[in-house]
Structure 1
Amino acid sequence: MPENLSQIDQAKANAARKAVEFVESGMKVGLGTGSTAAWMVRRLGERIRDEGLQIVGVPTSGRTAALAREVGIRVITLDEAKWLDLTIDGADEFDAEMNLIKGGGGALLQEKIVATASDKMIVIADAAKEVAHLGAFPLPVEVIPFGAEVTRGLVEELLGAFDVMGRRTTIRMSGDEPFRTDEGNLIIDLHLGRIGNPRQLALMLNQVPGVVENGLFVDICDRIVIGHADGRVEVRDIHDLSIEVSETLIAETGNIFSNIGD
C-alpha cells in the first residue's frame, strides 16, 4: 500500500467510499471495471468484513471478478442475478447531462449490459473527468475481428455526417498485438475531439456491420459521485437535479488497475 496517494487517487478513493454508502444488505450489485471501480470493490470488501454487509456482485470483467473474490464478495453471473439493484462504475468522461464515455479499460460491452440491467447506475469519478462536451477522451468502439479494417472504414465514413471535431481512428494495441476484450473482440478508438450529439452518434455507430457496441453511455447514469483530493464529495442526481456536497475520509487501500481506464 502506498504511503502517500496522488491527488487523483485520493479523489477516486473518496468518490468510491461515498458511493458504497448507497449499497444495502440484500442487494445485487454490478461491479464496474477500472482504477476508480477498484477502489469501490475494495471498500465493499471492507464493509462485508467489518459490518457484515451481505451482497452478491456481478463483475463487468475478469479483472474485477478476481478482485471481488479476493476481498470477499460473492460473485455470480448476470444470468444468475437476472436483474440488479445497483451498478457502480467509473467513467472516462462525463458531461452536464450525465452522458458518459466509458471503455478505457476495454470492458465497455459488459459494462453497458450490466448497467442497463440495473435499477440504478451510480458513476464514481474524480473532478477532472467532467467536460463541457464529450470527445476529448477517445471513444471506444468494440468490433468483431472479422473484417475489422472494413468496419473501421465504414465507421470513418459514418463520422463525416456528424458534428465531431476529428475523424481519426486507431486499432487499440496491447504491446505489439491488437488489444482483445474479454469476448475476444477488437477495439477501435475514435479520436473525435468533441461530440456534438452523443445520443445520435451512439445510435448510428451500432448500425455499422461489425460493430458490437460503443462507449457512449446515454440516458443510463442516474447519479454521479465526484471525489476531490481534499475530502469533498459531490453527489449529483439526474432525476431530481439535486446536488449534495459532503466530506468523506480518504480511503486507505492501495490502488490496483492504476494503468487502465475507468
Structure 2
Amino acid sequence: MVILNKLLAQIFIPKFFSTMSLESSKRVAAYKAVDEWVKPNTAIGIGSGSTVIYAVERLKQRVVNENIKVFCVPTSFQARQLIISNGLILSDLEAHPELDCAIDGADEADANLTLIKGGGGCLLQEKVVASCAQSLIIVADYTKDSTKLGQQYRKGIPIEVVPMAYVPVKRKIEGLFGGSVNLRMSVAKAGPCVTDNGNFLLDWQFPTDADSDWAAVNRDILMIPGVVESGLFVNMVRKAYFGLADGNVTERC
C-alpha cells in the first residue's frame, strides 16, 4: 500500500501543482493588467480565452469595491456571456466605437509582440475590437511568451475564410508560403468548425526554419479573395503581461 501511494503521488501530484501554477500565472497577469489599465467611466474591449476569465473576475471586484462604471464590449459569444454572468455593463461598437483599451489573451507572442490569435476561433471580432482601442493589452501565462512564432504554439496560424473559398485559399497559401493548411474540424459535432460569423477556419502550419516578415505575410494573406481575417496581430500590442509560475509577472512593450 505504501508503494502504491508513492506511485500515485508521483503520477498525480506533479500534474496537479503544474496546473495550479499555470492558472495562478494567468490570474496574476490578468489582475495586474486590469489594475493598471482600466479606468473609471471608460469603455473597454473584453477578449476571449482562459486568461481573460481572470481579467473579468478582477474587473468585477473593482466595479464592486470601487463603485466604478465600465462599459464592456465583447469579442465573442463567450466574452458576451462572461460579461453578463458577472453583472458588468454590456455594450457594443455602435454605442462605443472608440475604446480606452482592450484586454485580450494570445496563443503566442514573439520577441516583437507579434501575436498568433484565434486558437479559440474568435480572431475576427478580436481584431476588430482591438483596432478600436487606444491600447491593446495582452494577458497570458509564461507558456505563450516566445522568441519566434511557432516556438511553443504548434497548431499554426488561424485564418478565417468564407466557406466556399476554403480550398482555393488553402492552395494559395501553401503555394505562396509553404507549410500545410488544414481545415479546422469541430470536436463535438461532425463537420468543420464554424465561427461566430458563420465562416470556416484554416490553420496554417507555417515553416519555422526561416525568419518571416510577418507584416508582409499578413498583408499578402489578406489580399487573397475569400480570406476574411488572419490570426496574425502585427504592431497592435501596447503592452503584454506574462504571468510566471512563481507569482511574478513579466511585462513587455
**Could you say whether these structures have the same fold, taking a TM-score greater than 0.5 normalized by the shorter chain as the test?**
yes
Find the residue that maps to 1:132 and give its secondary structure. coil
Distance (Å, rounded) in 2 between the aligned partners of 1:184 and 1:217: 21
Q: How does 1:120-135 map to 2 (within 5 A)?
A: 120-135=135-150
Q: Verify: 1:180 aligned to 2:198, yes or no.
A: no
Partner of 1:138: 156
Partner of 2:50: 35
Q: Is the 8 A contact 2:136 2:239 kept in 1?
A: yes
Partner of 1:20: 34
Q: 1:206 aligns with which of 212, 222, 229?
A: 222
Q: CA RMSD in A?
A: 1.7
Find the residue that maps to 2:245 and give its secondary structure. coil
Paired residue total: 230
TM-score by length of structure 2 reads 0.87
TM-score by length of structure 1 reads 0.84
How far off its partner does 1:150 sit? 1.9
Which structure carries more helix by proportion?
2
Partner deviation per Cα, 1:178-236 (whole Å, 9 max, x = no partner) = 10110000000001152622111111000111000101100100101111122101222
Q: 1:107 aligns with which of 98, 122, 126?
A: 122
Identity of aligned residues (%): 37
Report the residue type matching 2:105 in the other structure: G
Bigger RCO of structures 1 and 2 (CA < 8 A, at least 6 apart): 1
Q: Is the 8 A contact 1:92 1:137 kept in 2?
A: no
Q: Verify: 1:88 aligned to 2:103, yes or no.
A: yes
Report the residue type matching 2:97 in the other structure: K
How far off its partner does 1:157 sit? 1.4
Structure 2 alignment gaps of length 5 or more: 1-15
Partner deviation per Cα, 1:35-61 (whole Å, 9 max, x = no partner) = 111111122112112221210000000
Distance (Å, rounded) in 1 between the aligned partners of 2:74 and 2:173: 30
Q: Is the 8 A contact 1:133 1:196 kept in 2?
A: no
Find the residue that maps to 2:40 and give its secondary structure. coil
Find the residue that maps to 1:6 and give its secondary structure. helix
